[in-house]
């Protein structure tokens, strides 16, 4: 997009501030805001200096200067600021090399797309994530030396059925594991989700649908698929919109995979397909109408799944979802229309709809890293013709046969597998040793913090021993 187009939006929308955004290693949006008068063509061309030493897992204080390089194609008018603000997503540049910073997630996504093109497998790769989330009325938590607390309140939860409410207890609530696609008044979050779709459209995302998910207070919004980097940008917008629309209703939204004990957790099922111009390369004459290329791609995902978990399921909480019994796809198998397999082949009447759905990721994932890692695993499967084995038609949510390999059981296991199985990620310098080691260090610190903190369950089990 040209500087002229940028100026036109600024003038037409009476913009007062320009907000420059980037994503850190763990997937959080960071930003710096300039007055519109300070943003000229030279600034947009040369980039914005900032202190990289304060970003978790990035630079030390003695080498802290970094550059934000705005991508004007990503512009959107922020729907939540009181004064007119134009937000622009940026790449991060290392001023010492004038190249993409090796730990910048968005730059890694762009390198993954370039590596895909260089592989000559196809010229288009699409990602379509389905993010689930919870909406609550009040959340209180604390973890300190002498205080450990989690208290979640939601008037639409089953445990509010006997609660005395000033305006009256309306009584219509879903039961645990019984909220999927329920209608109003049991689904009390319909209007919030509808507004979320309207706002998604305003920031440049094509919204598709919304519905209540399986657990009480659990929701899903659907959006159109896109290319890898653009889709990851959209995930960041999606989370931003969900958090802020919920906030405007006096509620709070979370993408934690497992905030509620004993009920379903939130996943981020990721649809993926490869094309050559207008030809869908995942369509063919093999199982479920798939091509051999697609089966090899599946083989790569299955082979590297335990290492992929470090990026697709990057929180300690992720593995409280990835347990049998809660519709969590822990078995590494593939199947047509079978949601118990970790890779599902959605039904489609046309070749254009042929794709795979990887079901084990969750929405704590940094989308740039998770999508890139899955693409690299799929490419490795195609290049090395990795056989995914036979498909399964049986329900394997509770599989105890040992017939199928499983995803990592903990973040520790995922990181250990990433250390031992990362060569496929480093092809084309997409991921680097520097980035992988820095990422592992961040995640190990998270593991250590949880491991060294007394847990309320431990008090329940051991206090009176």
Which of 130, 233, 263, 380 is labelled catalytic? 130
Ligand-binding site membership of 417 (annotated): no
Rounded CA-CA distance 434/429 in Å is: 11
Which of 213, 226, 233, 263 is labelled catalytic? 213
Ligand-binding site membership of 325 (annotated): no
Torsion sign over Cα 453, 456, 461, 465 = positive
Do residues 196 and 208 make contact, with C-beta atoms less than 8 angstroms apart? no
Ligand-binding site membership of 420 (annotated): no
Rounded CA-CA distance 167/129 in Å is: 39
Residue in 437, 310, 308, 322 with CA at minimum distance from that of residue 381: 308
Q: Is 220 a catalytic residue?
A: yes
Which of 78, 94, 233, 357 is labelled catalytic? 357
Ligand-binding site membership of 172 (annotated): no
Which of 41, 46, 51, 191 is labelled catalytic? 51
Give pLDDT tens digits along the chain (465 positions): 788 889 999 999 999 999 999 999 999 999 999 999 999 999 999 999 999 888 988 976 556 789 999 999 999 999 999 999 999 999 999 999 999 999 999 999 999 999 999 999 999 999 999 999 999 999 999 999 899 999 999 988 888 877 888 888 888 888 888 888 889 998 999 999 999 999 999 999 999 999 999 999 999 999 999 999 999 999 999 999 999 999 999 999 999 999 999 899 999 999 999 999 999 999 999 999 999 999 999 999 999 999 999 999 999 999 999 987 666 789 899 999 777 889 999 999 999 999 999 999 999 999 999 999 999 999 999 999 999 999 988 876 666 566 788 999 999 999 999 999 999 999 999 999 999 999 999 999 999 999 999 999 999 999 999
Q: Is 190 a catalytic residue?
A: no
Torsion, Cα 139 28 134 458, to 10 degrees, reads: -60
Say how many Å lie between the first and final Cα of the chain, rounded: 67
Instruction: Give me the residue spans of the domains in the chain.
Output: 3-101, 124-153+189-462
**Residue found under tokens 């799929």:** 378
pLDDT of residue 397: 66
Q: Is 113 a catalytic residue?
A: no
Torsion sign over Cα 132, 136, 138, 139 = negative
Rounded CA-CA distance 319/409 in Å is: 6
Which of 103, 210, 269, 304 is labelled catalytic? 269
- What architecture (CATH level 2) is domain 3-101? Roll (3.10)
Do residues 362 and 316 make contact, with C-beta atoms less than 8 angstroms apart? no
pLDDT of residue 360: 97
Ligand-binding site membership of 271 (annotated): yes
Q: Is 357 a catalytic residue?
A: yes
Which of 78, 94, 104, 132 is labelled catalytic? 132
pLDDT of residue 254: 98
Neighbours of 83 (CB within 10 A): 10
Q: Is 51 a catalytic residue?
A: yes
Ligand-binding site membership of 142 (annotated): no
Ligand-binding site membership of 176 (annotated): no
Ligand-binding site membership of 195 (annotated): no
Q: Is 445 a catalytic residue?
A: no
Ligand-binding site membership of 264 (annotated): yes
Cβ-Cβ contacts under 8 Å for 238 (sequence gap 6 or more): 131, 200, 205, 221, 223
- Looking at residue 132, the DSSP 8-state letter turns out to be E
Which of 24, 91, 220, 263 is labelled catalytic? 220
Q: Is 446 a catalytic residue?
A: no
Which of 339, 413, 421, 427 is labelled catalytic? 339
pLDDT of residue 166: 82
Residue in 269, 168, 161, 166 with CA at minimum distance from that of residue 216: 161
pLDDT tens-digit map of 166-214: 888 888 888 888 888 889 998 999 999 999 999 999 999 999 999 999 9
Q: Which fold has domain 124-153+189-462?
A: Creatine Kinase; Chain A, domain 2 (3.30.590)
Ligand-binding site membership of 357 (annotated): yes
pLDDT tens-digit map of 27-68: 999 999 999 999 999 999 999 999 988 898 897 655 678 999
Ligand-binding site membership of 193 (annotated): no
């Amino acid at each position: 997009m040209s500087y002229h187009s940028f100026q036109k939006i600024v003038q037409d929308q009476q913009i007062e501030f320009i907000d420059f955004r980037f994503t850190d290693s763990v997937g959080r949006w960071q930003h710096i805001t300039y007055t519109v008068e300070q943003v000229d063509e030279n600034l947009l061309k040369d980039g914005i200096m900032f202190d990289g030493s304060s970003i978790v897992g990035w630079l030390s204080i003695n080498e802290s200067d970094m550059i934000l390089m705005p991508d004007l194609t990503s512009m959107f008018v922020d729907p939540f600021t009181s004064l007119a603000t134009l937000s622009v997503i940026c790449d991060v540049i290392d001023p010492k090399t004038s190249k993409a910073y090796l730990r910048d997630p968005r730059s890694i996504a762009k390198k993954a797309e370039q590596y895909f093109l260089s592989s000559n497998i196809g010229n288009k790769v699409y990602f379509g994530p389905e993010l689930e989330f919870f909406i609550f009325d009040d959340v209180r938590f604390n973890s300190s030396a002498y205080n450990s607390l989690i208290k979640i309140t939601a008037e639409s939860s089953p445990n509010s059925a006997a609660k005395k409410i000033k305006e009256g207890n309306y009584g219509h609530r879903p039961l645990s594991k019984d909220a999927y696609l329920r209608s109003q008044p049991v689904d009390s979050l319909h209007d919030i989700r509808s507004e979320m779709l309207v706002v998604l459209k305003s920031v440049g995302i094509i919204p598709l649908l919304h519905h209540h998910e399986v657990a009480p207070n659990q929701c899903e919004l659907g959006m159109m698929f896109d290319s890898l980097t653009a889709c990851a940008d959209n995930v960041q917008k999606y989370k931003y919109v969900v958090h802020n629309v919920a906030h405007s209703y006096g509620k709070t939204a979370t993408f934690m995979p497992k905030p509620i004990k004993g009920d379903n957790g939130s996943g981020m099922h990721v649809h993926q397909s490869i094309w050559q111009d207008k030809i869908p390369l995942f369509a063919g004459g093999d199982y479920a109408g798939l091509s051999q290329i697609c089966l090899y791609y599946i083989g790569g995902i299955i082979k590297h799944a335990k290492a992929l978990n470090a990026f697709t399921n990057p929180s300690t909480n992720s593995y409280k979802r990835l347990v049998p019994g809660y519709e969590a796809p822990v078995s590494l198998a593939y199947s047509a229309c079978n949601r118990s397999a970790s890779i599902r082949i959605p039904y489609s009447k046309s070749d254009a709809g042929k794709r795979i759905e990887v079901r084990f990721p969750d929405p704590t994932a940094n989308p740039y890293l998770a999508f890139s890692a899955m693409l690299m695993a799929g490419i490795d499967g195609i290049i090395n013709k990795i056989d995914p084995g036979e498909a399964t038609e049986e329900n394997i949510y509770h599989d105890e046969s040992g017939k199928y390999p499983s995803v990592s059981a903990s973040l520790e296991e995922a990181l250990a597998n990433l250390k031992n199985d990362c060569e496929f990620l480093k092809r084309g310098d997409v991921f680097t040793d520097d980035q992988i080691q820095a990422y592992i260090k961040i995640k190990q610190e998270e593991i250590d913090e949880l491991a060294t903190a007394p847990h309320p369950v431990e008090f329940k089990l051991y206090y009176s021993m």
